[in-house]
Homo-oligomer: A and B are copies of this chain.
Amino acid sequence: MSRQLHLNLNFLNAGTYGSAWRWPGGAPGDFADPAFYIRTARLAERATFDAVFLADNPALSDRPEYRPFQSLEPTILLAAIAAATERIGLIATISSTYNEPYNLARRIATLDHTSHGRAGWNVVTTADRQTAANFGQRGVQPHQDRYARAGEFTQVVKALWDSWEDDALIGDADTARFVDIGRVHRIDHEGTYFSVRGPLNVPRPPQGRPILVQAGGSEDGRELAAEHADAVFSVAHALADAEEYATDLARRARRFGRRRDDILIFPGLVTVLGSTEAEARRREEALWDLVPIEYGLGRLAGTLQIDPARLRLDEPLPADIPLPPDHNHTFFRGALTLAERGRLTVRQLIRAQGGGTGHRILIGTPEQVAESIEAWFRSGAVDGFNIMPDVIPSGFEDFAEHVVPALRRRGIFRSDYAGTMLRDHFGLSRPLSPHSRIGAEAVPA
């Protein structure tokens, strides 16, 4: 079978544009209404998407006076979605900075059991002051510390998922043997950030290990991805960026004994569709006109970590913006690069970012979008995309109805799911627990 494209829905409440909630077709309360997420996830499943992906931040930080924001806790929302769907993957963003690995391993394992093998965890380190203030921190912890903790956190979570071998449950009522405790292992982790004895109190998840996703583009983020991730959500505004990223990730992965094929790469892709290119451009213009400029300015200032008063709408960015030490570097660098490449004014930059997103925006007909997706996919630099509709539901309905069939006609996207688990959709094999491997090796050939 030829290599197949992967598509995830990056489900940002009413859609990616800051004005999406003002567009016809939705209701203001949708962002906190589980029924809205369930309806949309069902649509994504009918379009045979690999997964729905929920970004998250445990703070009220996206200027709620202007627009909806990520609100409901992702694992619980995904459990509700799991109950209303059968195949689509369910990826929850959870911060390694503000959680404990035992609790997190257990929640994701439970979601994997509840969904029969469709769970994934997107590891983020959460670099904003509002969140820090909700968790007793005076400020954001330094970048390197957050990633060191994230690496150790991920290692502990994997060990906990591996703590049960697949055949540990005996369940023999006659002999009263319930669990073979020789096949359930303590992890006895003693590290810099954590001391965790284990074992987990949840049997091995259906996927063995639920899918691990990583989304940071910094040095430390790439290292974490190279060592642990099954998939990365990247940022790439041009194919050259995506190629550089893929080459770099492959090089790093080799150092951990892994290959490029072991890690799927999905850049974010904002879509604005129209039945003609002119119609798509008019839609983008209308969406942009509805974004309050104060919102766009505030978002950009937040991304750059500078005082909004320093930004003049019809002038270029100030020349001397320093790299903020405790911040999201990917979107910081992305904004600077975009401004520089296009010689954009602040207003143009905000617009080029759809009023707030730091991801690439594609404006065009379904065929144009499908063509670009195919070109990037065939380059080998990406394995698919994290689709970010301009507006949900309308922009995603158009994607499902028109872009997905175009991709199928091109022979690069499935018409039906081949398996039942997210691992199957991603084409990744199910890992054995290292304890089981040791056991298997001990058996004489």
Knowing A79-B80, A80-B79, A110-B73 are in contact, say whether A60-B201 is a contact too (CB < 8 A): yes
Q: Point out the residues of chain B lying under 8 angstroms from A173, CB to CB.
A: 21-22, 28
Complex CA gap A80/B113 in Å reads 11
Q: Point out the residues of chain B lying under 8 angstroms from A80, CB to CB.
A: 79-80, 82-83, 114
Asked whether, in the complex, the Cβ of B178 is within 8 Å of the Cβ of A68, the reply is: yes
Q: Is A325 an interface residue (CB 8 A)?
A: no
The residue from B98, B130, B172, B195 contacting A197, defined by CB atoms under 8 A apart: B130
Q: Point out the residues of chain B lying under 8 angstroms from A68, CB to CB.
A: 178
The residue from B114, B135, B196, B290 contacting A134, defined by CB atoms under 8 A apart: B196
Interface residue total, chain A, C-beta cutoff 8 A: 73
Knowing A100-B135, A196-B134, A290-B176 are in contact, say whether A72-B32 is a contact too (CB < 8 A): no
Q: Is A194 an interface residue (CB 8 A)?
A: yes
CB contact list, A45-81 vs B, under 8 A: 57-61, 64-73, 75-77, 79-80
Q: Is A184 an interface residue (CB 8 A)?
A: yes
Copies in the complex: 2
Q: Point out the residues of chain B lying under 8 angstroms from A170, CB to CB.
A: 28
The residue from B60, B100, B184 contacting A200, defined by CB atoms under 8 A apart: B60
Asked whether, in the complex, the Cβ of B197 is within 8 Å of the Cβ of A73, the reply is: no
Interface string of A371-410 (1 = CB under 8 A from B): 0000000000000000000000000000000000000000
Closest Cβ of chain B: how far from A346's Cβ, in Å? 20
Asked whether, in the complex, the Cβ of A72 is within 8 Å of the Cβ of B184, the reply is: no
Q: Point out the residues of chain B lying under 8 angstroms from A239, CB to CB.
A: none
Complex CA gap A27/B32 in Å reads 38
Asked whether, in the complex, the Cβ of A70 is within 8 Å of the Cβ of B110, the reply is: no
Closest Cβ of chain B: how far from A96's Cβ, in Å? 13
Q: Point out the residues of chain B lying under 8 angstroms from A28, CB to CB.
A: 169-173, 178
Q: Point out the residues of chain B lying under 8 angstroms from A83, CB to CB.
A: 79-80, 83-84
Complex CA gap A72/B106 in Å reads 7
Q: Is A313 an interface residue (CB 8 A)?
A: no
Q: Point out the residues of chain B lying under 8 angstroms from A274, CB to CB.
A: none
Known: A29-B169, A66-B176, A73-B110. 9 other contacts (CB 8 A): A28-B172, A28-B173, A33-B113, A64-B181, A66-B178, A72-B113, A73-B107, A80-B80, A98-B102
8 smallest A-B Cβ distances: which pairs?
Answer: A28-B171, A83-B83, A79-B79, A133-B197, A64-B179, A60-B201, A73-B110, A22-B173
